[in-house]
Structures are given as C-alpha cells and as structure tokens.
Structure 1
Amino acid sequence: MCGIIARIGADDGVDRLLGGLERLEYRGYDSAGIAVENGAGLAVQKCSGRVGDLVDSVEDSGVYGGIGIGHTRWSTHGPPTDDNAHPHTGATGEVAVVHNGVIENHAELRDELRDAGHEFTSDTDTEVIPHLFERHLADNDPEEAFRQAVRDLDGSYAIAAMVEGEDAVFAARQGSPLVLGVDDDEYFLASDVPAFLEHTDEVVYFEDDDVGVIRPDDVELSTLDGEAVERSSEVVSWDPDETGKGGYDHYMRKEIENQHVSLANGIEGRVSEEGEEPDLDEFPAGTFSGVERVQFVACGTSFHAAKYGTQLLNKAGVAAQAFRASEYDGSIPVDSDTLVVAVTQSGETADTLAALDRARRASARTVAVTNVMGSTAARTADDALFIRAGPEIGVAATKTFSSQVVALSLLSHRVSLDAAEEGPWDDPAAYYDALEALPNHVESVLDFETAEEVADRFLGSDAFFFIGRGLAYPVAIEGALKFKEITYEHAEGFAAGELKHGPLALVTPRTPVFTVVTGDDDETTVTNAQEAGTRGAPIVAVSPSDHKITDVADAHLPVPDTHPDLVGLLANVQLQLLSYHTADKLGRAIDKPRNLAKSVTVE
C-alpha cells in the first residue's frame, strides 16, 4: 500500500521522482506529492488525485532539485485530500517526510505535540513524524534527531525524510518494504524495485530496524541504536521493459498475454530429466521427510492458488489446509512437524507476514512462495521458492496466479514424495508432459479467445456466478474475484455442490453461471449447472470443446484438452479475459480499480 520514491544525486532529479511515482501508482492512487531540496529550502508540491495531476502541477510550478522524496497514496488515515497527501511537513517547514505503514501510537503522539504547541493540518498518522523530527532537531544533529523521532514510533513504517539545508535523505524501515537502488552517480529509495529499475538493477534491501543516511556520494546504514551494519547488494534479474505497457492499452492485458512466458520461466529447469518428478534446487529429495501436515497461509488471489496446492497434497495423502492469513490465529494447531507455506506475490503482504511469524514462533518449518527476491517473506522464511513471473503492475493479479499454481504444484509433489512416498498422480510423466506444454496451450487460448463475445452477450446482467468442483473450485473463486475487482459488478464463486444450498435462490435469467469443468469427476458439476439452467440461468461452459457440459450450455469459453489438473489454469485465462473485456466495455479503470492497491502492507 502506498508508494515511496527518493532520488539522491547532484543534477536535477524531479523527472526521476515523477517517473518513479508513475511506476508505483499501482500501490495507491488517491493522491501524490514530492519534496525537493533546491538550495533555497524545501519545495513541496502535492495534490489529491492521480500522479498525472501532480505532474501537471509540478510542470507549472518549475520545482527542481537533485535530492527529493515522493509518495503516491492509498488512504488509511484520512480521506484523499490535498492536506492528507504526502510529503508532510512539520511546524517550521524545515522537515519533509513520506511514510508507508501505520503509526499505532499516532493519537497519543499528536496529543503530546499539540500540548507543546504544534499545529496539525491533516488527518494522517504520518504527520506526527515531521513534527517529532523537528522537535528533536532543537537539541541534536539531523541524523540523531531522526533516530530519536523513529524511536518514538510504534507500528509499521518505511520512512524517507529530508531536512532543509541537508544534502541527504534519512530512511528507516520497520515492517514495511524499503529498497535502495545503487547507480554510478545517484541513489534511489523505493518501496518497490520497478520504481527505479530503468536506471539501475543493483539493489540493497533494508531490513527491520535499519536506518540509512543517503547522500549523493555516500550511504551509511546502521541499526536504530546506531551500530553500523553491512547489507550486500543484489542484481535484480527483471527486464526494465517488463515494467512498461509495451504498446498495450492496459498492464492487465499485457500481463494476461505474457502468461505463457512467465509459465515457461517458472517451469524451466524444474522437472527431472526423466520427466516424472520435480527437480527443485532449493529442495532436493528428502527435504520434507518427517512433515506430518502442511498449512498454507495467504490472502486474496494467493489464497486461491494455495487451495490448488492443498488439493494436490490431499490427493497424495498428505494432510493439508489453506488458511486466510488474516484468520491464522492461536486457535490453529501448529508445531515442529508442520510445514507452513506462505504464498505472497510481493513477499510483503502484512497479514501473511504476521501468519509466517506466528508459524516460526511455533517452531514450524516455513517456506515462502513469492515473486520477489529480497522480499521480507523470502528473507524471514526458512526457505523460499520463487515463481519467476517477473514484475506485475496491474492491481488485479493475473500471471502471478498461474505461476503460483505451477510453483505450488511442483512443491506439493516434492513434499508428498518426501512425506508420504507417493505423489498426486498415478501417471506423473503424463502430468509433466502436459505441464511442459502448458505455455503453448495458454498461447492457443489467447490466439483464439472468445471471451469478448461472451462478455458482450452478458453485459448488464444482475450478477455473475462462477462454479467448480475439485481443482476447478479455486479457479471459480479466483474468476469471481477478478471479475468483481475490475468490473465492480456483483460476482460470486461457489463450490458447485453448494449452489443448491442457498445461492440457487439468487439465480434468475439475468444471472449467468460460468461452469468450470476439468474432465475429472465432472458428472455432478454438470448436474449442478443444469439445476441452475432449469431456473432460467444462462450456462457458460468453461471447458475443452468436446466436454459434455457444452451440450447443456448457452455459451462456451473453450480451452485445450490437457491433463485434468491443468485444465483449470487454461480456464483461468479465459475468465481473466472475460473480466478484462467486461471491465473495458464498462469503462472501468482496469489497472487501478477503485479502493484497491497492489501490495497490501497493512493489516
């Protein structure tokens, strides 16, 4: 949630700040602002609305400076107004701050500062930080004043701050991501690597309690207590071109189209030469011997991917459950015989990190399945498996879902072979043959898509239902989530057998039912669809062309005939296209759906 950018260099860096904010806008787009040091003091420019509104404002004002900070906001404390936009300044205007996270003791600090004569102009929790910084500046140098201000805070934060007359940015992290970009003659700070990837791919990840002082020619990192620390740099393998639209109207469409590439990357080198089992460098045979149960923790789309992994493990005889990370509390038994798999695209999802922390404190073995090297989840779990999907900018997850499912399929097979001495499939070679053909099958769905026609046919419906059974169920609920995220239309996903236990009362001729079938135990799902059809609901089959569901369907979203455990991923591509075309026809902000942001870093 929210995006931070800072640039530290000798020449004018305003364009780099604004460019970074444009690339971070998926993290929040309620308001935006920058502050720069131009030799005559701090110049602050901010406004409610999109980054484009800020760009227009900056161009009109002529703001310039080599050292600056910027922010694009997703509102937590206070509505999206000019006053609530970051950067925030203190009473004298000599300090400017941008902040991600939540300051839990902001109300007490605000009362204390008000009693000391400070006046506040916003509703945000962030505004206490520059006031604290200024108060401590009265008796300390800027670095020590910043440390003391940070020590006053309870909660989560990634902070970048500037002081008038100082050629430096002061930074701190606790529970919210912050990464340093290193180039030959300039530095960057950001909440996400894509903010500066076109300028440098060398990065240093801040860890909790790190404090940084970044000057044009120097970086000093230390703990909050002032002890110097060394953080090694890494090279990010993402291509800077992946963070652009590449000629597409929307990032989401580009990322749907890019799935065959991300899937190929996720599969490459991860299947044994015999083609019968996973070959994961991170997890050689025997890694998970002794595991008695597996618990997945995840949120949103990642939770739906986790449901996929759960079912594969259960098929192999391994006890597995998927928990919504926000509900993973002390009532759930977890011990040293438990493997806890945290599934998180960004590796920074606050609820998932909290669940991961609980698992670690209970001595469970932990694995992070994530897209981002250097993320908090990757660094705090015992091990990490990267999905290799590349950067995803659209708020609605697309290519990362399919890549998560593939990674979890490989991991689940490895775990089941180690823990139960058998896998989810009687013929694993057939599964892996189909897996290696999956990227080509995705391409064929994209080449011959029918989703736009179906979207047009059912535009204006009262509600949209998605049903499935077995491995089609997580695809159904993911399809419904994608639809509601970007169309703002009422969509619900159900286990097919549950339709008659209440939801059938909502079915009308204006409620299309999208029925996902995979070719594995589909008889009852077809019956469930027919039950809705007899009540007048249009049935849309999402299936291979020769499936019998097409005999009772009013419309069809076809997918190639492949292994039943992979049909769902091809169906998912069709449902993503359905959501995309429907949202486009409704004129929705597809890449920036209302009230949502890409990386949910607050609980």
Structure 2
Amino acid sequence: MCGIVGAVSTRNIVPVLVQGLQRLEYRGYDSCGVAVHQDGELRRSRSTARVAELQAQVEADGVASGTGIAHTRWATHGAPAVHNAHPHFSRGKIALVHNGIIENHDELRDELKAKGYVFESQTDTEVIAHLVHQLYEGDLFDTVQRVVARLQGAYAIAVFCRDEPHRVVGARHGSPLILGVGADADPEARYLASDAMALAGVTDRIVYLEEGDVVDLQLGKHWISERLADDSFVPVLRDVKIVHAHSGAAELGPYRHYMQKEIFEQPRAIADTLEGVEGITPELFGDGAYRVFREIDRVLILACGTSYYSGSTAKYWLESIAKIPTSVEIASEYRYRDSVPDPRTLVVTISQSGETADTLAALKHARSLGMRHTLTICNVATSAMVRECELAYITRAGVEVGVASTKAFTTQLAGLFLLTLALAQVRGTLTREQEAEHLKAMRHLPVALQSVLALEPQVVAWAEAFARKENALFLGRGLHYPIALEGALKLKEISYIHAEAYPAGELKHGPLALVTAEMPVVTVAPNDALLEKLKSNLQEVRARGGELFVFADSDTRIDSGEGLHVIRMPEHYGALSPILHVVPLQLLAYHTACARGTDVDKPRNLAKSVTVE
C-alpha cells in the first residue's frame, strides 16, 4: 500500500529516495514526501501530485543530504492533503514515516495533547512522531523500542532525529519492511524500504525484517533487535539474502499502460509458472507435502479481492476433480466470525504480494484455532506469507505494476489447478491418463492464450459502446461464475462503471428487474454441461429488451443478431476454460477505461498492495 524508503550514506541520498518512490508508485498513493537531515536541521518537501513533481520540487528547494526518509501515502486517516502527507515532524527534531494503522491513536493523541503537543494533521502517524519526541532521551534506537511497546495495530516506520546525524531507525509489526546493505558503489550505506523493488539497482543485499523487529541503521553497520512477548528486546541476527529485484521488469515498453502490458504478458507468465513441472507430485508444494496431503480431509481457502475469485474458481476444481470438501472465505471477514475449526484442514492462502494484511491475519487466526497445515499460492518468494506457511507454490507472474491484477490472477489459477491435481493424485481420484491429459492442456495454455489475445480488436469495438454506460451486469454459470465476478471487478476498478456479477440462474430471482436497453449484459458462455441452461437465461434478457455481449466457445451455436453480440473464443478448454475466458474480460475493462479517459494503472482510491486492515 504505502511505500517507505530510507537511507544513511556518505553521499547525497535524495536521488535514491526519490527513485525508490518512483519504483513504488505501482502500489497506489495520493501524496508523497521526502525529509532529510541537512545543515543540522530537518528539511522536507511534500506533494499531493506525482513523484515526478516531488522530484522537481526537491531539486528546486536544494534538498540534499546523506540521511533521509521518503514516503508515498494512501490515505486512511485524514484527506489526501499536503498537511497530512508524510514525513511528519515533531517540534523540528523528529522526522517519521509510517505504513499501517495505529488503532489506539485517539488515546495517545489525547495523552500527548495534555502534554502540550500540537497536531498539524489528522493522521494517526503524527501521534508516533510526537511519542518518539516525548520519550527521546538521547538514543533513538532505545526510544523506538519503548515507543513500539505503546502502539496497537499495524506499522512499519522509519524515523530519524536532528540530534543524531547519519542514523535512521526502523520497526515493523504487521507491515513489511526490509533492510538493504550497501553494495560496491556505496558500501557504507544502509537502506530501509517496504519493497525490495525500491532498491533495485542500488543494492541486491537484502535483510527481511521479521515481525516485531527494530533496526538501527548507521554508516557501515546496522543492528537488529527482536521484540519478545514481555515487550523486552534482544539482539538478533538476520540473514542477508541476494535478491535480484530488476527494475527493468517494470518498464512500460511499447504498451500504452502497464495493465495492457501485463495482460499480454500472460502467456509468458503462465509458461514461467509451469516451468519445471514435468509431472504431478505433491513435492511441487514443498518438502513434506505428501505427508500433509495425506493428513487432510478438507480445504479452507483464505483470500481477498481478485485472489478470492481465484480461490472461488479453485473450489469447483477441488471438489469435482480431487473430491475434497472446500470452503472459500473472504479473509477480512473470516477472523471476525465464529467458525468451526477442523485440524484436518489444509488452510490455503492466496496473495499476489504475500503481504496482504487481512490474509496474513486470517492465516494466523486459523492457526490459532488448531489448523496447523498451511499452504500459500503467492507471487513473491520472499514475502511474509511464504515465510508463515508450511508449504508454498510460487507463481512467476513477475512484477505486476497495474493496480488491477491480471497476470497474477491467471498464474494463481495455474498454481491452484496444480494443487488440485496433486491432491487428486494423493486421494486416488485421478488416473494416470487423466493426469496426462490435464498436463497436456496446461502446457498448451500459453498458445491458447495467444489466440485469445488476438481477439483484442473485436473487444475494442465493444468497449466504445461500454464507455457510454454507467452500469453493467455480468453472468456466468458453474466455475465461470467467479470469472464473471472478476470481470465485473475489473470494469469497476478502472473504468468506474458500476458492475455486478450473478450466477445466470439467479436472474429471475431479482436482478432481471434491472435489465433494460441501457443495461449491457456480459455473459461467459463456454460449451460445458450448463450451456443449454445458460441459453435460456440469455433468452430471459432478450425478452426484456436487454443487450447481450457474449464471449462464446466456437461450438456453442450462439449467433449474433439484434441485441446479441458474440465474440467467439478460439477453442473450448474444458476445466481450464476460466483461464482463457477471463482474458477478454480484462481487455474489455481495459479498453473501456481507455475510452473513458481514466487513470488505468492507478485508479482512484485504490492501492496495489493492501497492507492495512
């Protein structure tokens, strides 16, 4: 969500801070800022414009220093405004940036106001800055350890003090934070960031801070302390890993937007995700997977947003192919309701970033209920989700910059289908012939996806009509219902058209009342066992004057006519059909947003990596 970059160095570090913010722009933000220790004082520049404007501002203001912190903010407490933008100061002495939400900020604010502190923002972050100032006794590292013991909620923070040049202190609890160790060009430097990508090209020597860590950055050295259950701290060593976070992966190239680029990268992303899969074996998901798969009787999937829809699709696969009872829960709801735990459950989390706060919290809640078998489908091998789970399958979608997920979704589906086949194999519900057929179909996916992408010109023509609408319905049946949900979400996210998805059979139970000539109805129509039922649902729409836009398999015998527009998919793809059918829905949302002139890659109010609850 928000982005943090911090550094201490013997050279001017401001260009590195600003470049880091630019590499974190994909997360989404509505303000940004930089603060430095310059000429014995704190200086800062803040903006509600893009990072490029902030860069021009710091250059014009002559902001330069070897010690500094920077931030991109996605508003939670207080409107997107300069006075709410980070970094926040306390009495000209403390500068601080923060990701996350401090749940007891009202209580702390009242306490600090009573001690004479004046608040210039509506943020929960300013509370931390003043608390650091109030508790400061000459050692910033010691102060931050005492401060975090007072904080409730989630946070990653970076802070420096006017009285301690060349020192930055960081802490994390519930929000990601990494330490970068200086490389050959600047060996004395130390860095903080919320994402390794922010440090691409600066250093590849990364330390992933653990929950409760506080880190002290100084020239040529750093210390880490681990927080214990009694709020005391002990020194700890964390491994330095070599992480190649290539910034080139985020270059736009010949495409208009990152989302378009990422839609067209899906054949390669699927091929990379399946690379090395010669056959189905539980060990694809880690050592000990066979034993775990033998010990479970059911699956619980926890996820949010687009990842929730990939899990909803997998439920159909898991129950029909692996014959294992499966439930799918919205992670942000699961931990707040009474549920019936079963220790013989495999808890599966799905996350692009592996840092989604709601999903991490739901995972911990499931474990607290005695469900110890955990597995994640994730795109980031070094993420908190992977470290927290017993087993993992790492998708290889690569960096996804557009806020609206595309290639991460289809690679999640590929990973979940492999999980289905592995569980089916262990449970004896999959013959060798069926396994071979499924693997052959998976290997053909990149070619099949290229054929679907060739439909783009036809989708562009539809998008021109959609751009004039303010509402849309999406219909699907069976395992394509979650694909209809995902298509509606994409249209909402980037074109701001209100869109809802329903199982087609539910039309007559209420949604049909919305159907008019002004309500486009998008339908996913594969040639499966539910096709004839779906055709009847389409007739219900046509009888009420509705206008249908149908993505149909070539052999469905659904033909274009008055009020009925059909784009034919290249081939029917059986159980893997959802991976193909979602692509034209992505293209429809993308080109509709382009026609409406919205900010495709950074839709309003949204962030890429949701690291707050």
Which TM-score band (shorter chain)? over 0.9
**Offset, 1:335:** 2.2
2:169 maps to: 170
Q: Is there any run of 5+ residues in structure 2 with no aligned partner, and where?
A: none
CA distance in 1: counterparts of 2:283 and 2:147, whole angstroms: 49
Count of residues paired in the alignment? 597
**Offset, 1:415:** 1.9
2:26 maps to: 26
Q: How does 1:230-379 map to 2 (within 5 A)?
A: 230-272=237-279, 280=284, 282=286, 285-316=290-321, 317-329=323-335, 330-364=337-371, 365-379=373-387
- 1:386 aligns with one of 361, 385, 394: 394
**Offset, 1:327:** 1.8
**Offset, 1:281:** 5.4
Asked whether 1:404 is paired with 2:412, we answer: yes
Q: How does 1:363-512 map to 2 (within 5 A)?
A: 363-364=370-371, 365-418=373-426, 420-423=427-430, 427-449=434-456, 450-512=458-520
Query: Would you say the 8 A contact 1:34–1:87 is kept in 2?
Result: yes
Over 3 Å counting, the alpha-carbon distance change for 1:35 and 1:425 in structure 2 is farther
Q: Secondary structure at the match of 1:378?
A: helix
- The range that moved more, 239-248 or 11-20, is 239-248
CA distance in 1: counterparts of 2:568 and 2:270, whole angstroms: 20
Identity across matched positions, percent: 43
Q: Secondary structure at the match of 2:190?
A: strand
Q: Deviations over 1:208-227 (max 9, x none)?
A: 11010112311211124331
Q: Secondary structure at the match of 2:558?
A: helix
**Offset, 1:277:** 6.5
Over 3 Å counting, the alpha-carbon distance change for 1:357 and 1:259 in structure 2 is same
Q: Deviations over 1:457-504 (max 9, x none)?
A: 333124211111112111110000000000000111111111221111
CA distance in 2: counterparts of 1:512 and 1:56, whole angstroms: 45
Q: Secondary structure at the match of 1:289?
A: helix
Over 3 Å counting, the alpha-carbon distance change for 1:425 and 1:105 in structure 2 is farther
Q: Secondary structure at the match of 1:227?
A: strand
Q: Deviations over 1:510-533 (max 9, x none)?
A: 222111122221211121122112
- The range that moved more, 296-305 or 46-55, is 46-55
- 2:541 aligns with one of 532, 540, 543: 532
Over 3 Å counting, the alpha-carbon distance change for 1:265 and 1:282 in structure 2 is same
Over 3 Å counting, the alpha-carbon distance change for 1:353 and 1:588 in structure 2 is same
Over 3 Å counting, the alpha-carbon distance change for 1:39 and 1:557 in structure 2 is farther
Over 3 Å counting, the alpha-carbon distance change for 1:140 and 1:8 in structure 2 is closer
Q: How does 1:116-155 map to 2 (within 5 A)?
A: 116-137=115-136, 139-155=137-153
CA distance in 2: counterparts of 1:27 and 1:124, whole angstroms: 20
Over 3 Å counting, the alpha-carbon distance change for 1:571 and 1:83 in structure 2 is same
Q: Deviations over 1:179-214 (max 9, x none)?
A: 122331233211122212232333211111101011
Over 3 Å counting, the alpha-carbon distance change for 1:476 and 1:423 in structure 2 is farther
CA distance in 1: counterparts of 2:204 and 2:540, whole angstroms: 55
Q: Provide the TM-score with structure 2 as the length reference.
A: 0.94
Asked whether 1:41 is paired with 2:41, we answer: yes
- 2:196 aligns with one of 193, 197, 202: 193
1:77 maps to: 77
Over 3 Å counting, the alpha-carbon distance change for 1:328 and 1:426 in structure 2 is farther
Query: Would you say the 8 A contact 2:257–2:600 is kept in 1?
Result: yes
Over 3 Å counting, the alpha-carbon distance change for 1:147 and 1:462 in structure 2 is closer
1:578 maps to: 588
Q: Secondary structure at the match of 1:127?
A: helix
Query: Would you say the 8 A contact 1:434–1:562 is kept in 2?
Result: no
Q: How does 1:198-217 map to 2 (within 5 A)?
A: 198-217=201-220
Q: Deviations over 1:67-98 (max 9, x none)?
A: 2111111111111111100000102x111000
CA distance in 2: counterparts of 1:25 and 1:425, whole angstroms: 47
Q: Deviations over 1:273-307 (max 9, x none)?
A: xxx66761526545401311111011100000001
Q: Which amino acid in the other structure matches residue 528 of structure 1?
A: N
**Offset, 1:236:** 2.9
CA distance in 2: counterparts of 1:349 and 1:306, whole angstroms: 15
CA distance in 2: counterparts of 1:455 and 1:241, whole angstroms: 31
- The range that moved more, 475-484 or 59-68, is 59-68
Q: Is there any run of 5+ residues in structure 1 with no aligned partner, and where?
A: none
**Offset, 1:338:** 0.9
CA distance in 2: counterparts of 1:246 and 1:278, whole angstroms: 38
Query: Would you say the 8 A contact 1:452–1:578 is kept in 2?
Result: yes
- The range that moved more, 127-136 or 558-567, is 558-567
CA distance in 2: counterparts of 1:269 and 1:30, whole angstroms: 41
CA distance in 2: counterparts of 1:319 and 1:591, whole angstroms: 37
Q: Which amino acid in the other structure matches residue 305 of structure 2?
A: G
Q: Provide the TM-score with structure 1 as the length reference.
A: 0.95
Over 3 Å counting, the alpha-carbon distance change for 1:226 and 1:390 in structure 2 is same
Q: Secondary structure at the match of 1:548?
A: coil
Q: Deviations over 1:339-375 (max 9, x none)?
A: 1101111111111111101111122111111111221
